[in-house]
Amino acid sequence: MKRIFTTAIMAFACYSLVSAQCVEVPSNRVLLVGDSWAAFQYADQTINDGLKNVGHSDKRFVSNVQIAENGADTWDFVDGPKQDAIQDIIDANASIDIVHLSIGGNDLLGDWHVSFTDQQTDSLTNEVKIRLDSIVDFLQNTRTGMNVFWPGYAYPNFGEIIEDMAPFQASHPFFGTWDGMGQPDFITINSILNEMSDSVAYSASIDPKLDFVRAQGILQYHFGQIAPLGVAPGGTYAQFDAPLPLGYPDYPSPQDGMRLYIGIFKDCFHLSPEGYLAMFTYQAQKFYQKFLMDDLYLLSEGSTMDGSVSSAGDVSQEILIGETGGNELAAVVSFDTPQMADTTLAGASIFLRIEEITGATAIVGNDLYVKMVNGNFGTSADVEAVDYMDTPDAEGEPCRHGGNAVVGNWIRLDLTAEMINGIHNSTKTQFLISVPGFTGGTMKFNDASDPELAPILNLRYGASPDGIADYMLRNELPVYPVPTSGPLTIDVEAHKLVSIEVLNILGEVVFNAAAFDNTIDISNLPNGTYILKITTDEGVSSKRIIKR
C-alpha cells in the first residue's frame, strides 16, 4: 500500500489530463462545517483538490466563514445561528448530500488535563460525544437522505515544537494550550484522541448515514520522521513506513506536516496545505470516491480478463497504455454489466488509478481512444493478441478528467453517447483503451487485485443521451424549486416545449405530461429522487430532481 495516497499529491508534476474539447459541469455535493480544521481546508480548497485526485473533478464543496470557524467547538453548533446558516445553504444547493463535519478537537484541548482520572476523562469525552451526536442528528435531518462524514484529527505536536523554542517556549502561540493541559506527552494526548475516534467509529458502524475513516497517523506515513525527533522517544522512521491508519501513537505528527504560523512559528495542531490534502485524499480514497459514484459502479473483472495487448501481439496482465519498443500498448478492462438495472443510461465513466509512469512526456496532451464491445474482443473474455485489431461495437474519444498525471491519482473517462447507448445488461462489456500515435513512454494503471484501487465503471441511469443537442449536454434547463413538494416550473418558453416526462431511478416513466405550459405538479409521486426529461423543439434536457 506504500505511496497509494501520498504520491498522488506530491508536486513533482503539474500536467493536466483534461482534454481541451470537453467541459465539465460541476455540482456541489459536500458541505464543509466545523472548527479551525474546516476553516483551513476551506481556505486551502482541500476538498476540491482531494476529490480531483480520486477522479471526481466535477464535484465541489460549499462552505463559508460562519460555518467553518476558527476556534469553534461543539457548543457552537448544537443550536442557534450556525444551524440556521447550515440549513439555508443546504436548501439553496439541492445536490449537496454529505456534510464533512470537523468538530470536537477544541472541546478536548480546552477542557482536558493530564491530572484527570480515567473516570474524569471518560466523562469529558462522553459529554463531547453527546453534543457531537446532537449535531450529527441535526445535519442528517436537514434533508432526507443527508449523510455526515466526521474526519477526525491527526496527531498533534506540542511537545517537540514548543521544546524546540527553548528557552523561549512560553512565547509560542500554543504554549498556553499545551500548558493548560498539563504539558502531556505524545502517547497520552494521542491516546485520548484515539479513544474519542473509537467512540465515533462505533457510532458510524451502527448508523448508515454517518461515516468515519481513521487517519490519525497519515502525516507520519506521508512525511516520515526524517530528522531525529528532538524529544523522547527520539529516533527516526522512514517516509511511508508508519502503519496506517494509526501510525505510531508514541510519536507526534512530523513538523514537516504542520502549518507555518504567521510565517514564524510552526503550528502544533493545524496542518500545512499539503498535510490536509494528504489526510483528505486518504479518506477520499477509502470513502468519498465510491460514495460519489452514480446509480451503480462496477469493479473490473480482473484476473485474465484485464490487462493489455500490443500492436505486435504481446499480451500482459498489466494494464498499460502508451508505447514501448516501437509498439503501441492498449489496455483491456472488463466489467460485469449484467448487474445493471433493466433501463437506459444517461452517463457512463471509467475510473483508472495511475500506478506507474515511464517516459518524460507521460502521455500528457494526447487524446485517449476507447473501443467497446458487448461480450468480449477476440475469441474469449481473456486478453488475447487478436483483441488489438478486433472490430468494436462502439468507439470514440472520451472526455478525460480527474487528477494531474501523477502516480497515485485517478483519471476519469466520460464515455461518448454511442458507447453509453451500447452498454446493456445482456452481456458483459469489455473496453480497449489506447493513445493512438503516442511515442515515448507508458502509463500503468492499478489492476483489480486491490478492490480499493481497481478500475471502475460508473453508471448513471436515466434518459438516453441520443438526440440531445450539443448545447443541452453542457447546460441544463433551469427547473425550480428543487427539492420540491410537488409544483415545478421549467425556465423555458411554453411554446417551445414538446413533452415532459418524470422517470424513476430505474428509468421507468412515472409521470407523462403533455406540455401545454412550463409547470407540472408531481405531488402525487412518492418522496425520492427522479429524473425530469424535458423535450423541446431544440433538443432534450435531463435534470435530477428531489421530491419531498
Tabulate helix, strand, coil % of the chain (nearest 5): 30, 30, 45
Whole-angstrom CA distances from 103 to 39, 67, 112, 322, 419 are 11, 11, 16, 46, 44
Whole-number Å distance between alpha carbons of 471 and 398: 18
- Tracing cell 467497446 back to the chain, one arrives at 372
Q: What is the mean pLDDT of residues 308-321?
A: 96
Residue 9 has pLDDT above 70, yes or no: no
Give me the pLDDT at residue 5, please.
Answer: 38
Q: What is the mean pLDDT of residues 37-66?
A: 96
In this prediction the pTM is 0.82
Give me the pLDDT at residue 32, please.
Answer: 98
Give me the pLDDT at residue 262, please.
Answer: 72
Task: With cut-offs at 50, 70 and 90, classify the pLDDT of residue 536.
Answer: confident
Ordered by where they begin, the domains of the chain are 34-291 (3.40.50.1110), 296-461 (2.60.120), 471-547 (2.60.40.3080)
Q: What is the mean pLDDT of residues 302-326?
A: 95
Do 269 and 105 meet the contact criterion of CB atoms below 8 Å apart? yes
Give me the pLDDT at residue 361, please.
Answer: 61
The alpha-carbon radius of gyration of the chain (Å, integer) is 26
